[in-house]
Structure 1
Amino acid sequence: MKNVQQISVLLKPLAASLAVAGLVAFSLAGCDSANSKVPDAPAAGGPPVSTAAVIEKQITETQEFSGRLEAIERVEIRSRVGGFITSVNFKPGSEVKKGDVLFVIDPRPFQAEVSRAEGAAASARAKAELAKLELSRAEKLLAEKAIPQRELDEKASGLKELDANVRAAQASYEAARLNLSYTQVQAPISGRVSKAEITVGNLIDATAILTSVVSTDRIYASFDGDEDTYLRVAGTSQKGGPVSVKVGLANESGFPHEGKLEFVDNQLDPATGSVRMRATFANADRMLVPGLFARIQLDTGSGPQAQGTALLISDRAVGTDQSRKYVYVVGADNKAEYRAVKLGPNANGLRVVREGLKAGEKIVVNGLQRVRPGAPVTPQLVAMDFDPTAPAAPAKPAEKDAKVAANAAKAASTSKE
């Protein structure tokens, strides 16, 4: 029994040593296992970027400019005669017709002048009629040799002078009547009237501006086109051919108002390389008001470069290298290739490419700042008009129900386990 107790005492340290050794071995094995699961260095896939295929389709090329709306007719209303304003017959900002009386000036002094001139004209006519009768009698007396020829000549000359006095008096009478009509200040054109600059009771002269009227049935949109646009449309416009122009206001999307190019200036400004152009638009709904800012879309599809199909890309895919434009083309090896391009106008929200790309080539449209020439990338194919800033569309009810059912099934299977 004593021997057994001694052996037991000797075995306890040995067992403890073996246990410690086992723990160490297990730990080393765990470390080896963990180390074996550490992934290798990341594969050379490159940063993720969005790519899209270059589109080729038939388009009508347009150019967009900024301009201002201008009234076709604008008249500053002034009085032709001086006097006191006795009446203002319009509401500020209302539409008026040609011939409507806008202001009335005190007519009494002018009516008196008309009466005076009318009396003077009647007196001159009476004197001329008397002279004509006396001349007729003198001719009879001369035939009977009762008066000398000299007296007949004097009467004939006197009649001519009185006839001239009649015409002068009649002209004074007509001028007086005209001045009387000017006491009613009428609208010279149809359009929208401004506010009254001078109100009732004020004394005015012919230099005073009373108000203004602008036409509203049609309106101009003026803008500065570039040299390329001039070369495309000037010939057609100068020959009387139609060139379509569309306009959109600041609170409108797109270009809902359509008109035609009416004027192209005869020279370009050498300082800016631009040329003055003007289009005419119908304005039946009176939405176009002179002075408004306008976005103008000019149809340049008549030029030789606008025939056939065109390559289209998103503006987000275009980078600027000093004065050059470029894109990154992603090849079959998923490496980015720097490609200089020559761009054209905007068409349906995409940019026309003149040179540098082929239809179907994949280019980087988002993540351009993460790309380096010749470096690998991880392409994610999207549509060419993809907008990364647009909010994601909400899930449809069916999709939501499917997701809820899948989550419920997963939770049930987990609980069973």
Structure 2
Amino acid sequence: MKNILPARAIALARILAATGLFQLAGCGSGENDTAALPKPKVEVSRPMQREILETDEYTGRLQAVESVEVRARVSGYLKQILFTDGGRVRRGDLLFVIDPRPYMARLQQAQAGLERARSRLKLAQNHLQRAESPLKEQAISEEEYDTRRQSLAQAMADVESAQAEVDLARLNVEFTQVRSPIDGRISRKLITEGNLVTADTTVLAGIVSVDPMYVYFDADERALLKYRRLELAGERKDGMPLEMGLVDEQGYPHRGYLDYIDPNVNADMGTVRARGIIANPDGLMEQGLFARVRIPGGHRHQGLLISDRAIAMDQGKKYVMVVTSDQRAEYRPVTTGRLQDGLRIVSAGLSPEDWVIVNGLQFVRPGTPVEATHIDMPGATR
């Protein structure tokens, strides 16, 4: 009897055979494609070597060196306002005028009282002089002479008192003109003309100084100790220099110095309040603005800098790719610092002889053969 395979088994065998042939053909095609792929083209640069100064960076707020609430020193009705809201004023500028007429009248009254006191003084002097001869001739008693002498002393005291009344009245007349006590920028007027002003109570406006400005920030305990040690070592004889940048500025274009460190450390936060002073000749800075502060906190030394575009992240760790002598990409973990001159400081992981991939990093993996072109490090500002 013949072994006859069912028709379905024969068909299945033919399908399996065909599938195996196709898979073999596919594998062979993939190997040829891989071998034919071109090498990724990348651009590489050597790290730049520059002098680096270790710095500490903080955030803070600007504050005026002087801040004044303008108040009147005499009471009265406000007659004139002589400034523009938000404008610049100088020390001695006339800002407000209080109706001076009541005080002018008091001054005239005090001057009249002074003249009366002077007249009484002259009369007392004459009486005493006329009593000297009769006293020698014993025509009058010594008691009467003493009375006239006491009257002269009283008249002299009355003149001094009247003179003080005149001085006070004249001073009050001057106080009807409210002048700026400092140079700076004035706020809006807080009271309008015609209102009653109460001496030493009514706030008329506020003035804050403009140049220089303070910048306040909080530093940690380690930084405080580092600055103290630098001062003790004599490396900061001229004071601790300070650089500052505003929120819309690149880098730290403003220069100043650290002029105050609070003697009390915040035990809860482990920080200390510090203050720098910054020149502001053009009036750009305003009280309350956010500021970035940088302070040199170490020694100058040679360091390596690379472009930020060469740095990638792998599970929270930074790395770069360098091209080896056999033209393959190699993975290098790096430790980076702040920006300087448009480049990132690399404190560990690279040497000056390494060729770092700065363009084309996304096309390579560790061990990938590459076609490298040497260029200058991009991004340097000087």
TM class by smaller structure: 0.7 to 0.9
The reply on whether 1:295 has 2:288 as its aligned counterpart is no
How many percent identity over aligned positions? 37
Give, in whole Å, the separation in 1 of the partners of 2:367 and 2:20.
39
Asked if 1:37 is matched to 2:34, the reply is no
For residues 9-158 of structure 1, what are the structure 2 equivalents within 5 Å?
32-39=24-31, 56-158=49-151
Asked whether the 8 Å contact 1:69–1:291 carries over to 2, the reply is yes
- Aligned residue for 1:284? 281
Q: Which amino acid aligns with 1:287?
A: L
Which ranges of structure 2 fall in alignment gaps of 5 or more residues?
1-16
Question: Letter of the aligned partner of 2:115 in structure 1?
Answer: A
Matched, 1:253 2:240: no
CA contact (8 A) 1:87 1:105 kept: yes
| Aligned-pair CA distance for 1:260 | 2.6
Tell me how far apart the structure 2 counterparts of residues 384 and 274 of structure 1 sit (CA, whole Å): 42
Indicate the SS of the match to 1:233.
Answer: helix
Q: Tell me by how many angstroms 1:97 deviates.
A: 1.9
Contact 2:53 2:301 survives alignment (8 Å): no
- Once residues 194 and 87 of structure 1 are traced to their aligned partners in structure 2, the CA distance between those partners, rounded to angstroms, is 16
State the partner residue of 1:224: 218
Distance 1:64 1:103 in 2: 44
Output the CA distance in 2 between the equivalents of 1:329 and 1:271: 43
Mapping of residues 185-196 of structure 1, within 5 Å: 185-196=178-189
Higher helix share: 1
Q: Does structure 2 retain, via aligned residues, the 8 Å contact 1:50–1:379? A: no
Residue 272 of structure 1, CA deviation: 2.4
Rate the CA distance shift 1:76–1:57 in 2: closer, same or farther, 3 A.
same
2:202 maps to what in 1? 208
Structure 1 residue identity aligned to 2:28: S
Q: Which residue of 2 aligns with 1:273?
A: 270
Superposed displacement of residue 91, structure 1: 1.1
CA distance in 1, matches of 2:75, 2:206: 18
Give, in angstroms, the shift of residue 94 of structure 1: 1.5
Paired residue secondary structure (1:39): helix
Q: Cα 1:77–1:62, aligned 2, differ >3 Å: closer, same or farther?
A: same
User: Equivalent residue of 1:85, what SS?
Assistant: strand
CA distance in 1, matches of 2:369, 2:125: 110
Per the TM alignment, residue 80 of structure 1 is displaced from its structure 2 partner at its CA by 0.3
Separation in structure 1 between the aligned mates of residue 48 and residue 174 of structure 2, nearest angstrom: 69
Shift of 1:118: 1.0
TM-score (norm 2): 0.74
Give the counterpart of 1:168 among 150, 161, 165: 161
Contact 1:326 1:338 in 2 (8 A): yes
Q: How far apart are residue 214 of structure 1 and its match?
A: 1.8
Contact 1:317 1:363 in 2 (8 A): no
Structure 1 CA distance for aligned equivalents of residues 27 and 237 of structure 2 = 82
* Equivalent residue number for residue 227 of structure 2: 233
**Rg: which structure is higher?**
1
1:243 aligns with 2:243: no
Cα offsets for 1:106-137 (capped at 9, x unmatched): 11111111111111111112112211111122
Quick check: 1:247–1:258 contact (8 Å CA) kept in 2? yes
Instruction: Name the amino acid aligned to 2:67.
Output: R
Residue by residue, what CA displacement relative to the aligned partner does 1:176-228 show, whole Å, maximum 9, x if unpaired? 11011100001111222111100100001020110112222322222223334
My pick for the range that moved more, 67-76 or 357-366, is 357-366
Q: 1 CA distance for matches of 2:202 and 2:78?
A: 12
Match of residue 183 from structure 1: 176
Contact 2:244 2:255 in 1 (8 A): yes
Secondary structure of the residue that 1:142 maps to in structure 2?
helix
TM-score calculated relative to the size of structure 1 = 0.68
Secondary structure, aligned partner of 2:206: strand
CA RMSD of aligned residues (A): 4.2
How far did residue 164 of structure 1 move? 1.3
Alpha carbons 2:305, 2:344 under 8 Å: kept:
yes
Partners of 1:314 and 1:384 within 8 A in 2:
no
Query: How many residues are aligned here?
Result: 347
Higher strand share: 2
Give the letter aligned to residue 161 of structure 2. Answer: A
Q: In 2, Cα distance between the equivalents of 1:127 and 1:318? A: 98
Find the aligned partners of 2:368 and 2:197 in 1 and give their Cα distance: 79
Counterpart of 1:62, as a letter, is T
> 1: distance between equivalents of 2:270 and 2:305?
27
> Relative to structure 1, is the Cα distance of residues 120 and 352 closer, same or farther in structure 2, using a 3 angstrom cutoff?
same
